[in-house]
């Protein structure tokens, strides 16, 4: 190819023209010399030369770069056409943009959340190791002695590292700046197990853990974002000190940007410090043993099954080291799981894929619609194409021009679609963040861009090739004849367009069915009786700076004064404290209570464990089944008491029919020690929703806050980590919140920045992924319905337009208006019924993929399907109305005269 | 070996042979397109009449392959025309083309006139 000539294209062409003109002139001159007159000479010379234009064309083509010029020419023509009929262009662009936007947005989310590789090298080799009884499905952390045994004897692993979360909320900072963050204590080989080195500094000491005190105990590695926030990206940060929970640590490393561990969005760990082994790690004592989460890297080439088998064999020996028979039973089984597996529940990933499928379905509908539009257009331009063919354009040339046109349209649609997708992601960012366990992007990255390009290309091809092929292969003569507009359309063409509309209707029905099911789910969720009141309750999620309050008695020094202050604020009906409000999900404490089975076997009941203040019942209105709730008489010096819910009572005393007998049973010790008494059950609450609205009740035990003292073993976990303050008030939010904040600040400065929300909002948030899926499906289904109706309307309008003459003849022959309307409606009816039938089958087959989202309605619910079918039929009737009316208003005289 | 060239239209001459003829004509000095077609016609005794649809693409192609070079000059009749002349590479190509043609003629002759007695 002669690109150099491309830039002087005009010159080259002019040269060629001149060369040929010269040839002709000389030939004519020769002929004149031979005796012909000038006119004949000219003619003969021309005749001998041949088709000048064709010769020029062929020669130019041998230059090799002509195709580019032609494409540019086609592009310019396409843009001119778009300007001439902006409505059509807008329709096609809008349709395609909608489909591309939906598919791109969903794919962005799926790519980031499901497909993105972890930021560690060879992440498939990373496994988690848990101990635990196969049957109980509990995954337990392992004590140090077990880990040491594995390290020395298990051959399948290259490295075994471990880590743990210190209890409580952690605050990382420097003097003057303090931020709440997550903080991890890790083994010395932790980072080398993951395979990531710090970007600055040497990192944690590689000396293995030992029971002797290590001089490196107060070192820490911080994350890239902590480095930027606290040290302003100062490269001399190594050796500087930073405070964690008031204690000073030396910074020995900064992790690279983008490094996250653990890989989830709930904990943003900003600092990693070494684990110090102490007396608790020397023995396997049930009460004091420290356990760690284990992450290990397999040796290259070792399969997970091999490693699992080796560890299982090894573990039977290791378990003998346990003296407690119960613990030995638990420790006997060991489970390895790939690290990538546990990151998201299967149901969530299935749901995401289902939503992606829905988005792709919408894209398909959009493409089908665009194809229909382009087909109609190609038909209208038959005469133009025929003319060009007659002038010498080859079939390929015509096809190429139409393809370029549609590529231009879909290119613009892709740009528009990308913009819409970005906006959608931004709008849904908050919702996505709270319901997906992994960080969600706000931008378009390379794989997504590639996906966008592929979608655009396919849209263009799908929507263009077909009409282009038809237009290019249409016979020329009939189109050029008079009246060709009316008779040129073949039955095959109509059938094709009809089947496209049927396909659209079928796919739309599927989307509408999914949407309908989701809406019913939401409705069912909203109407589940929660078991407590949610109106007019303000909730404050207190961030307790644990380290500050370990020295004091938080009950008397912090919480009680706070409660008193808040209760006495004007307009407050009642106020209470609870470790975690129902559906709050800020902090859930589990406890296992032993009970004696009637057989004498030991069994346990796993229960939620919360501390509450007595007034809480006035705030939430919990229903008591039996007995009483806490009251002012329950103090630190009175009898220890607990309140349980019905599920707990059933689990704890399964043989007891009468719940009243459960009252008075002794359950557990609030305070360790020989003198202390067991706490008795004094009341049974009716079940209420705890974790989420669609899950049944879990056993729950509540203890009275005033009864907890620092001596109690549960003091720290129930009071020192999280506490929610619930306030019932009739005053408007805007007035109460500032007063609340000042009361909090008076109690302790850190509390002033706590998150304040309402109970209604918490309930709303807890609907979680169902709401998100419902919103998305609403958008998809509404778009699909719109496209469908537009497609049907377009087809019918076109048919009526084509057949105006026929209508006129019918009227002239005596047909009534109604007959003609019926004709149109019948055509529409056939299309809609066929589409609905196929759509129902499709919906039946595919709604089971969203089964995990549904609540209160089955995936094959007949009412929903019937309702959706009815919606489509009505929409079809609406779409057919205008064309039918237009058909009925055809004036026979005019129709016969036209064309 | 000359690379195979594809001609869009039917030509009445074997592929590659048109190039050979043009190069041979130009051996006698630079000529413009009309003169080349006239020369071929005359020297073949009015047998070979090259279509302009083959000639001009061939000329442009050979120019791209650097076998011939072009320049605009004025003819005796004071007409501005594009003259083509042979380059060094073109000369080599001519020699190659000639020997290829001769071996082709011999080969075809061998098939058409099988005579074991006469030895070439």
A371 has a pLDDT exceeding 60: yes
A764/A440 Cα distance (integer angstroms) = 21
Nearest CA in chain B to A26: B34
For position A524, what pLDDT does the model report? 84
Smallest Cβ distance to B80: which of A22, A30, A55? A22
Among A306, A403, A383, A343, residue whose Cα is nearest residue A115: A343
State which residue of chain B sits closest to A60, comparing Cα positions.
B57
B chain contacts of residue A19, beta-carbon cutoff 8 Å: 32-33, 56, 81-82
A697 conformational bin, left if phi > 0, alpha if psi -120 to 50, beta if neither: beta
Closest residue in chain A to residue B9, using alpha carbons only: A58
To the nearest whole angstrom, how far is the Cα of B105 from the nearest Cα of chain A?
30
Q: B21-45 pLDDT, tens per residue?
A: 999 999 999 998 889 999 998 998 8
**Rounded to the nearest 5 degrees, what angle is found at the Cα of A115, between the Cα atoms of A110 and A120?**
135
Cα separation, A797 vs A879, whole angstroms: 9
Q: Could A22 and B82 be called an inter-chain contact, meaning their C-beta atoms sit closer than 8 Å?
A: yes
Least confident of A112-116, A133-137, A288-292, A570-574: A133-137
Which tens digit of pLDDT belongs to each residue from A483-523?
545 444 567 777 888 888 898 899 899 889 988 888 888 88
The answer, yes or no, to whether residue A695 has pLDDT greater than 80, is no
Which residue among B33, B60, B82 sits closest to A62, beta carbon to beta carbon? B60
Pairing state between β B80-86 and B31-32:
antiparallel
Nearest to A50 among B35, B53, B77 (CB): B53
In this prediction, residue B88 carries a pLDDT of: 93
Nearest to B52 among A15, A29, A49 (CB): A49
Facing B79 at nearest CB: one of A25, A50, A59:
A25
What's the mean pLDDT in A814-827?
85
The answer, yes or no, to whether residue A104 has pLDDT greater than 90, is no
User: Residue A363: is it exposed, middle or buried by C-beta count within 10 angstroms (0-12/13-18/19+)?
Assistant: buried
Number of A/B CB contacts below 8 angstroms equals 57
Which of the pair, B9 or A193, is modelled with greater confidence?
A193
Taking an 8 Å cut-off on Cβ atoms, the answer to whether A22 and B81 are in contact is yes
pLDDT at A205: 77
Structure confidence at residue A856 (pLDDT): 79
Interface test with A, best of B19, B41, B52, B63 (most A CBs within 10 A): B52
β partners of residue A541: A724, A755
Q: Which of B5, B6, B32, B34 to mutate to test the interface with A (most CBs of A within 10 A)?
A: B34
A594 three-state secondary structure: strand
**Cβ-Cβ contacts under 8 Å, A2 against chain B:** 64
Average pLDDT of the segment spanning A246-273? 78
Sorted by where each begins, the domain ranges of chain B are 17-110
For β-strands A126-131 and A241-244, DSSP reports them as unpaired
Interface of B with A (CB under 8 A): 8-9, 32-35, 38, 51-53, 56-57, 60-61, 64, 75, 77, 79-82
Q: Which of A285-294, A315-324, A359-368 has the lowest mean pLDDT?
A: A285-294
* % pLDDT > 70, chain A: 85
CA distance A216 to A223: 19
At which residue do the structure tokens 């379905």 appear? A361
Chain B contacts of A16, Cβ < 8 Å? 56
Tell me what pLDDT residue B36 has: 92
For chain A, the average pLDDT equals: 79
Per-residue pLDDT at A685 exceeds 80: yes
Nearest CA in chain A to B62: A62
Class of domain B17-110: mainly alpha
Q: Note the pLDDT tens digit of each residue in A608-640.
A: 888 888 888 888 888 888 888 888 887 777 788
| Interface confidence (ipTM) of the complex | 0.79
Mean per-residue pLDDT, A123-132? 82
**More confident of the two residues A524 and A268:** A524
Rounded alpha-carbon distances, angstroms, from residue A744 to A551, A563, A566, B72: 20, 10, 9, 95
Q: Which of B34, B53, B64 sits opposite A23 (nearest CB)?
A: B34
Answer whether B82 sits within 8 Å of A2, measured CB to CB.
Answer: no
Percentage, residues of chain A above pLDDT 90: 3
Please choose, from the candidates A33, A57, A62, A61, the residue with its C-alpha nearest in 3D space to the C-alpha of residue A45. A33
**More reliable by pLDDT, A874 or A276:** A874
> Which pLDDT belongs to residue A1?
46
Task: List residues of A whose CB lies inside 8 A of any B CB.
Answer: 2, 15-16, 18-20, 22-23, 25-27, 29-30, 49-51, 54-55, 58-59, 61-63
Q: Which residues of B touch A55 (CB under 8 A)?
A: 52-53, 56
Mutating which of A19, A27, A45, A53 best tests the B interface, going by the most B Cβ atoms within 10 A?
A19
Contact A876, A795 (CB under 8 A): no
B32/A22 touch (CB, cutoff 8 Å), yes or no? yes
Least confident range from A97-111, A583-597, B88-102: namely A583-597
* Between A540 and A483, residue with greater pLDDT: A540
What would the pLDDT profile of A752-772 be if each residue is shown by its tens digit? 767 788 888 888 777 766 777
Q: What is the pLDDT of residue A888?
A: 82
Most B-contacting residue of A1, A2, A22 (CB-CB within 10 A), to test interface = A22
| Number of alpha helices (DSSP H) and beta strands (DSSP E) in chain B | 4, 3
How far is A33 from chain B, CA to nearest CA, in Å? 13
Nearest chain A CA: its distance from B8 CA (Å): 7
CB contacts of A54 in chain B (<8 Å) are 53
How many Cα atoms within 13 Å fall on the side-chain side of residue A458?
Answer: 15
Beta-carbon separation of A22 and B34 below 8 A = yes
Question: Average of pLDDT values for A460-484?
Answer: 68
Closest CB from B33, B64, B77 relative to A19: B33
Low-confidence ranges of chain B (pLDDT < 70): 1-15, 116-120
User: From CA A497, how far away is CA A791, in angstroms rounded?
Assistant: 10
Q: How far is A593 from A668, CA to CA, in rounded Å?
A: 7
pLDDT band at A76 (very low <50, low <70, confident <90, very high): very high
Evaluate if residue A115 carries a pLDDT over 90.
no
DSSP letters spanning A439-481: ---SS--HHHHHHHHHHHHHHHHHHHHHHHHHHHHS-HHHHHS
What's the pLDDT score for residue B11?
42
């Amino acid at each position: 190819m002669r690109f150099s000539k491309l830039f002087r294209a005009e010159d080259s062409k002019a040269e060629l023209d001149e060369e040929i003109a010269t040839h002709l002139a000389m030939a004519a001159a020769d002929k004149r010399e031979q005796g012909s007159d000038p006119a004949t000479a000219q003619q003969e010379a021309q005749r001998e030369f041949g088709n000048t234009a064709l010769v020029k064309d062929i020669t130019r083509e041998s230059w090799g770069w002509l195709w580019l010029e032609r494409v540019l020419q086609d592009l310019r023509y396409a843009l001119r056409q778009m300007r001439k009929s902006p409505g059509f262009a807008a329709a096609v662009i809008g349709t395609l943009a909608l489909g591309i936007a939906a598919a791109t947005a969903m794919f962005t989310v799926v790519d980031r959340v499901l497909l993105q590789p972890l930021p560690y090298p060879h992440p498939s080799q990373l496994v988690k190791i848990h101990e635990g009884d196969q049957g109980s499905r509990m995954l337990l952390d392992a004590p140090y002695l077990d880990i040491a045994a594995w390290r020395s004897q298990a051959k399948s692993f290259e490295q075994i590292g471990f880590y743990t979360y210190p209890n409580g909320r952690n605050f990382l900072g420097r003097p003057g700046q303090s931020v709440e963050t997550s903080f991890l204590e890790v083994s010395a080989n932790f980072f080398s197990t993951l395979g990531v080195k710090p970007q600055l500094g040497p990192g944690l000491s590689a000396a293995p853990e030992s029971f002797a005190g290590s001089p490196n105990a107060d070192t820490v590695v911080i994350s890239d974002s902590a480095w930027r926030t606290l040290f302003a990206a100062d490269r001399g940060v190594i050796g500087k000190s930073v405070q964690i929970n008031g204690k000073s640590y030396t910074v020995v490393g900064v992790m690279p940007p983008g490094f996250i561990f653990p890989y989830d969005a709930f904990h943003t760990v900003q600092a990693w410090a070494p684990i110090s082994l102490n007396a608790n790690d020397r023995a396997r004592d049930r009460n004091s043993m420290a356990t760690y989460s284990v992450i290990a890297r397999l040796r290259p080439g070792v399969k997970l099954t091999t490693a699992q088998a080796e560890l299982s064999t090894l573990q039977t020996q290791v378990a003998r080291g346990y003296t407690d028979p119960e613990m030995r039973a638990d420790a006997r089984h060991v489970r390895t799981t790939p690290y990538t597996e546990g990151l998201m529940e299967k149901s969530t990933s299935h749901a995401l894929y289902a939503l992606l499928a829905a988005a792709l379905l919408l894209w398909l509908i959009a493409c089908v619609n665009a194809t229909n539009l382009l087909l109609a257009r190609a038909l209208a331009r038959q005469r133009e194409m025929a003319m060009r063919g007659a002038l010498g354009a080859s079939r390929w040339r015509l096809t190429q021009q139409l393809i370029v046109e549609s590529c231009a349209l879909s290119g613009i649609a892709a740009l528009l679609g990308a913009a819409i997708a970005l906006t959608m992601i931004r709008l849904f960012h908050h919702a996505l963040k709270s319901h997906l366990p992994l960080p969600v992007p706000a931008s378009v990255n390379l794989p997504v861009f590639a996906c966008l390009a592929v979608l655009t290309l396919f849209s263009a091809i799908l929507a263009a090739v077909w009409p282009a092929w038809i237009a290019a292969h249409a016979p020329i003569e009939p189109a050029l004849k008079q009246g060709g507009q009316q008779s040129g359309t073949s039955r095959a063409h109509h059938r094709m367009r009809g089947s496209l509309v049927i396909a659209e209707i079928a796919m739309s029905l599927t989307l509408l069915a999914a949407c309908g099911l989701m809406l019913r789910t939401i409705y069912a969720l909203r109407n589940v009786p929660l078991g407590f009141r949610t109106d007019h309750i303000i909730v404050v999620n207190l961030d307790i700076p644990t380290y500050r309050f370990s020295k004091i008695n938080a009950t008397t020094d912090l919480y009680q004064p706070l409660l008193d202050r808040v209760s006495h604020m004007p307009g407050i009906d009642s106020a209470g404290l609870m470790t975690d409000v129902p559906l709050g999900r800020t902090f859930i404490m589990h406890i296992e209570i032993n009970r004696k089975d009637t057989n004498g076997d030991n069994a346990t009941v796993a229960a939620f464990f919360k501390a509450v203040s007595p007034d809480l019942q006035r705030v939430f209105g919990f229903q008591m089944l039996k007995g009483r709730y806490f009251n002012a008489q329950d103090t630190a010096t009175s009898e220890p008491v607990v309140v349980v819910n019905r599920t707990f009572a059933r689990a704890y005393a399964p043989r007891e029919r009468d719940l009243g007998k459960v009252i008075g049973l002794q359950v557990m010790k609030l305070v360790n020690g020989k003198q202390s008494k067991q706490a008795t059950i004094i009341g049974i609450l009716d079940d209420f929703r705890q974790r989420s609205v669609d899950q049944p009740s879990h056993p729950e035990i509540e203890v009275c806050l005033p009864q907890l003292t620092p001596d109690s073993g549960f003091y720290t976990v129930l009071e020192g980590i999280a506490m929610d303050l619930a306030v019932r008030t009739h005053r408007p939010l805007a007035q109460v919140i500032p007063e609340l904040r000042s009361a909090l600040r008076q109690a302790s400065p850190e509390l002033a920045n706590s998150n304040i929300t309402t109970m209604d909002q918490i309930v709303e948030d807890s609907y979680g992924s169902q709401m998100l899926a419902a919103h998305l499906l609403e958008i998809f289904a509404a778009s699909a319905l719109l496209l469908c109706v537009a497609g049907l309307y377009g087809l019918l309008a076109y048919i009526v337009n084509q057949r105006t003459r026929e209508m006129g003849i019918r009227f002239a022959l005596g047909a009534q208006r109604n007959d003609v309307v019926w004709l149109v409606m019948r055509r529409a009816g056939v299309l809609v019924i066929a589409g609905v039938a196929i759509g129902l089958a499709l919906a039946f087959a595919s709604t089971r993929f969203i089964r995990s989202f549904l609540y209160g309605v089955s995936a094959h619910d007949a009412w929903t399907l019937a309702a959706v079918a009815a919606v489509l039929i009505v929409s079809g009737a609406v779409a057919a109305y205008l064309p039918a009316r237009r058909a009925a208003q055809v004036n026979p005289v005019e129709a016969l005269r036209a064309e | 070996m000359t690379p195979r060239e594809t001609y869009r239209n039917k030509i009445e001459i074997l592929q590659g042979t048109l190039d050979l003829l043009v190069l041979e004509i130009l051996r006698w000095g630079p000529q413009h397109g009309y003169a080349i077609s006239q020369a071929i016609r005359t020297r073949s005794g009015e047998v070979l009449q090259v279509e302009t649809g083959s000639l001009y693409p061939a000329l442009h192609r050979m120019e791209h392959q650097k076998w011939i070079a072009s320049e605009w000059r004025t003819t005796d009749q004071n007409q501005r025309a594009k003259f083509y002349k042979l380059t060094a590479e073109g000369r080599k190509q001519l020699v190659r083309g000639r020997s290829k043609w001769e071996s082709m003629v011999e080969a075809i002759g061998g098939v058409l006139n099988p005579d074991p007695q006469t030895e070439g």
